[in-house]
Amino acid sequence: MKILKFTLASLLIVSLASCKKEGNTTATSKDSLIAKKDSVVVPEVHQEFYGIYTGEFSGKEMMHDSEVDEDYEGINIKRLSLKINKITKDSVYGQSIVNGTQRPFRGIFNENSNSFTLDEPGNDKTDGRFEIKLNNDSITGKWTAFNKSAVKAATKNLKLIKKEFVYNPNFMLDENSDLIDWENPKDFKEKYTDEETGKTEIYTTSKNRVASDAVFKINASKQKLTEKELKNLRKLDMEIIKNSVFARHGYSFKKQTYRNFFEQTDWYIPVSNNVDSELSPMEKENVALLNRFIKYAEDKYDSFGR
């Protein structure tokens, strides 16, 4: 009887082991099917079209002339970049970058007409559809907002040129750049005395911040800045010197003031709304030092016509 019990127990162990082995075989087979499915790669096409296309993004919208206190219809021109990252038979993937905002898009490519239809996600009030045509290294077409009532210009035209983004620490503003901050005028009280009557009047005049030639001489991407270099600079000088670092790395500025400065150059290509990880250790130290001085610096204002 003892021998029989041992034999039955042995058979039970062997049976359980066999079931476990079969179970593992089934799981392994299932895993291999999933792996096979995941390993299927959708072939990419027209990789020659991949890259960054940047240029004018313009639309009609109502503007305000503060000098005469009147509204008028004008054309607002911005810098837009479209990054085409991937094209397959059925889909196109990439990002649009404008005004410090980076949005993904997905769409289709029509080989017969060399045209794209690209849709941003639609969960932001500024999202829309690009309907564009490719001609060699240029893109032309239009963008239409999904929510036409949420934006100033529901339709915008675009004219872009393919450019290769390159970080270069030597990039500087052109010496013929307009160094005036047109976006933040400030009102000042001034006195005027008539020489004949001797009568003095007080009037209000609007002035704009203006930078100095220091922005052409100080490069925070190449030299370690010192407090001595910064202590006599204007606030706008230091803002430009600091943001030149970010512009060299392709940062897309939210503030129109900075866009106005760097869009005057040929080298500025907005490619991202966050380039913090791209900065060198020296650039990070210089930016931190500039931020300390900017906080307490003063500006130089002057009167200008537009």
Please report, to the nearest 10 degrees, the dihedral formed by the alpha carbons of residues 55, 57, 62, 65 taken in order: -10
**Residue 86 near residue 44, CB atoms below 8 Å:** yes
Give the domain range for residue 65. Answer: 47-163
Mean pLDDT of 197-225: 93
> Are 87 and 139 found together in one domain?
yes
Phi, psi of 59 (to 5 degrees): -155, 155
> Are 186 and 298 found together in one domain?
yes
Q: How confident is the model at residue 17 (pLDDT cuts 50, 70, 90)?
A: very low
**Residue 53 near residue 84, CB atoms below 8 Å:** yes
- Asked whether the predicted pLDDT for residue 14 surpasses 70, the reply is no
Select the more confidently predicted residue: 181 or 20.
181
Does 293 reside within a domain? yes
> Are 245 and 273 found together in one domain?
yes
Mean pLDDT of 146-175: 95
Does 7 reside within a domain? no
> Are 190 and 134 found together in one domain?
no
- Asked whether the predicted pLDDT for residue 6 surpasses 50, the reply is no
> Are 140 and 222 found together in one domain?
no
Helix/strand/coil for 196: coil
> Are 59 and 129 found together in one domain?
yes
Q: Does the global pTM surpass 0.85?
A: no
> Are 296 and 235 found together in one domain?
yes
Handedness of CA 283, 289, 293, 294 (dihedral sign): positive
Phi, psi of 105 (to 5 degrees): -140, 160
> Are 156 and 221 found together in one domain?
no
The predicted pLDDT at position 12 comes to 44
Which of 163, 198, 216 is at the close of a domain? 163
Does 168 reside within a domain? no
The domain total for the chain is: 2
Between 62-66, 87-91, 267-271, the lowest mean confidence (pLDDT) is in 62-66
What single letter denotes the amino acid at residue 21? K
**Residue 99 near residue 280, CB atoms below 8 Å:** no
> Are 203 and 293 found together in one domain?
yes
- Asked whether the predicted pLDDT for residue 157 surpasses 70, the reply is yes
> Are 208 and 248 found together in one domain?
yes
> Are 185 and 292 found together in one domain?
yes
The predicted pLDDT at position 252 comes to 94
Per-residue pLDDT of 115-146, as tens digits, reads: 999 999 999 999 999 999 999 999 999 999 99
- Asked whether the predicted pLDDT for residue 11 surpasses 80, the reply is no
Does 29 reside within a domain? no
Q: How confident is the model at residue 66 (pLDDT cuts 50, 70, 90)?
A: low
